[in-house]
Every structure is written in structure tokens, then in C-alpha cells.
């Protein structure tokens, strides 16, 4: 059963690769960013509480995120494995996750870190288009949808995320280096870290992800 976390700088390809793994293994993709964006659009209490963090490219406080993930992992579809996409993002979140999974008897198979240099990340993020309905990911140059502004998968509306603009991209890259990159040492120390080169085509990166998962995917 697949139980993994995906981390890496924004634009490294976590969402794209997590969606591919979800289809391949029948494990559920838990994208914390997507959950928060949906909450913001629905103007739910969670959305109202967190939308300003998203707009700035800042991290939402740990206690809010840990509670959200703990509840999501209890849902039945996560019983067949999960791919955490964008969580944890701080050492405190990683500690809480470890504790949570220990209690449930569901240890992580691996922590996948997708890497790419800043110039690649900036190009990917600034041209990215996201489906409002299913979270599908496109790019105006590298992976355009068949019909501009319309999702190939579900027909939903494509939009440019508020945090995929220049100023917010720079803030998110900084936040990643300061708060999330230390997870590499954290997971290396536990023997779980798999670093993956995220530069190249979606298929090339998918091959590397498969290789990195190795036995952990069985
Ligand atoms: P993402 O879609 O993964 O790029 O996440 C978009 C935004 O959601 C981030 O810039 C944060 O504001 C927020 N977010 C998502 N996951 C987390 C997390 N694990 N901890 C804190 N904030 C998060």
C-alpha cells in the first residue's frame, strides 16, 4: 500500500506527479493547497481563516494544517493508501504527522523530495493554469489545454492562481527554503528521503518517481 509524502519547492511538479500516482495505485492524493483553495472559493470558515495566507504565499499555521490533515486521513478513501501533496511543510507538521501515523499503525513508505532550480520553477509557475473544478494542471506553453481556458479532463474553468504571480512566487520560494527545505535532513535521518530530479518532461520525472519508490510502492 502506498503511503508517501511529496515535498519540494513550488512548481517542482508535486501535484502533477501525485495525480499520476493516485491513478496508478488507487491511493488518494491529499493536496492541502487544493483543499484550502476550495475552502476559500466556498467561503467556508476554514477558507475565511486561511485565504489571506494563501494570497501572500505564506504558510497557514501548523495547528490548522495538522487538524485538517488528521481529519482528511480518517476518511475511508485514504484507507487504500495516500499521497500527501504539500504536507508536511514544517518540521512541526512532520513531527505531528509521524505521531499521527504511528498511532494509526500506518508508517510512511517514503518521503519524496522533488527538486528543480529557481529559473525552471519560475517559468513553470508563471505560466501555470489550474482547473477550478478538479485541480487539473496545465501550462500555457509546456502543456496547454486543447481549448484555451477549459480543462481537458472535466471541462472546468482554468485560471491563474493568485499565488502564481511574480511577487507571490518569490515569497513562496523564500518560504520553501526557510521552512520546508529542512525536511530533507529530517527525513534523511529517518532513512525515508528519496530526492528526485524534477527537471524534464512529465514522463521523465514519472519514471524517476517510480524508480525512487521501488519496493515502497508494493
Ligand atoms: P500548494 O498548492 O501546495 O502550492 O499550496 C498553496 C498554499 O497553501 C501555500 O502557499 C500555503 O499558503 C498553503 N498551504 C498548503 N499546504 C500547506 C501546509 N502544509 N502548511 C502550511 N500552509 C500550506
- Tens digits of residue pLDDT in 47-56: 999 999 999 9
Please tell me the pTM assigned to this model.
0.93
Q: Is residue 204 part of a domain?
A: yes
Tell me which residues have their CB closer than 6 angstroms to ligand 1.
10, 32-33, 36, 53-54, 57-60, 65, 86-89, 93, 163, 172
pLDDT digits (tens, 9 = 90+) for 115-126: 999 999 999 999
- Under the banding of pLDDT at 50, 70 and 90, the label for residue 16 is very high
Say yes or no to pLDDT of 178 above 80.
yes
Residue 35 has pLDDT above 70, yes or no: yes
The verdict on whether 172 is a catalytic residue reads yes
Ligand 1 pocket: which of 54, 171, 179, 183 to mutate (most atoms within 8 A of CB): 54
Candidates 3, 72, 128, 129; catalytic one = 128
In a domain, 147, yes or no: no
Q: Which domain holds residue 11?
A: 2-116+176-217
For 158, the grid coordinates are 482554468
Cβ–Cβ under 8 Å, residues 145 and 129: yes
Report yes or no on 122 lying in a domain: no
Catalytic residue status for 190? no
In this prediction, residue 145 has a pLDDT band, given cuts at 50, 70 and 90, of very high
The per-residue pLDDT for 22 is 93
Has 89 been annotated as catalytic?
yes
**52: in domain:** yes
- Report pLDDT for 104: 87
Cα separations in angstroms, 108 against 81, 132, 141, 203: 10, 30, 36, 25
Count of domains forming the chain: 1
d(CA 6, CA 120): 18
CB of 193 closer than 8 Å to CB of 115: no
Q: Is 58 among the domain residues?
A: yes
Strands 137-139 and 128-131: antiparallel
Query: Is residue 167, in this structure, part of any structural domain at all?
Result: no
Report yes or no on 148 lying in a domain: no
Query: Is residue 157 situated within a structural domain?
Result: no
Vertex 59, ends 61 and 153: CA angle to 5°? 115
**Which pLDDT score is estimated for 214?**
85
Look up the CATH number of the domain holding residue 7. 3.40.50.300
The residue whose C-alpha atom lies closest to atom 19 belonging to ligand 1 is 87
Amino acid at each position: 500500500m502506498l503511503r508517501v509524502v511529496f515535498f519540494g519547492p513550488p512548481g517542482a511538479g508535486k501535484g502533477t506527479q501525485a495525480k499520476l500516482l493516485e491513478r496508478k495505485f488507487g491511493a488518494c492524493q491529499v493536496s492541502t493547497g487544493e483543499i484550502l483553495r476550495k475552502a476559500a472559493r466556498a467561503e467556508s470558515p476554514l477558507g475565511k481563516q486561511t485565504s489571506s495566507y494563501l494570497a501572500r504565499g505564506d504558510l497557514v499555521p501548523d495547528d490548522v494544517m495538522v487538524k485538517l490533515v488528521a481529519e482528511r486521513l480518517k476518511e475511508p478513501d485514504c484507507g487504500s493508501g495516500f499521497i500527501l501533496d504539500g504536507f508536511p511543510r514544517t518540521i512541526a507538521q512532520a513531527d505531528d504527522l509521524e505521531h499521527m501515523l504511528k498511532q494509526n499503525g500506518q508508517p510512511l513508505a517514503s518521503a519524496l523530495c522533488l527538486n528543480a532550480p529557481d529559473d525552471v520553477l519560475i517559468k513553470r509557475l508563471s505560466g501555470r493554469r489550474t482547473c477550478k473544478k478538479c485541480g487539473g494542471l496545465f501550462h500555457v506553453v509546456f502543456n496547454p489545454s486543447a481549448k484555451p481556458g477549459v480543462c481537458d479532463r472535466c471541462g472546468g474553468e482554468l485560471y491563474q492562481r493568485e499565488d502564481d504571480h511574480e511577487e507571490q512566487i518569490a515569497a513562496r520560494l523564500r518560504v520553501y527554503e526557510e521552512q520546508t527545505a529542512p525536511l530533507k535532513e529530517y527525513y534523511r535521518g529517518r532513512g525515508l528521503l528519496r530526492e528526485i530530479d524534477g527537471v524534464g518532461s512529465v514522463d521523465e520525472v514519472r519514471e524517476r518517481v517510480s524508480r525512487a519508490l521501488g519496493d515502497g510502492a508494493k
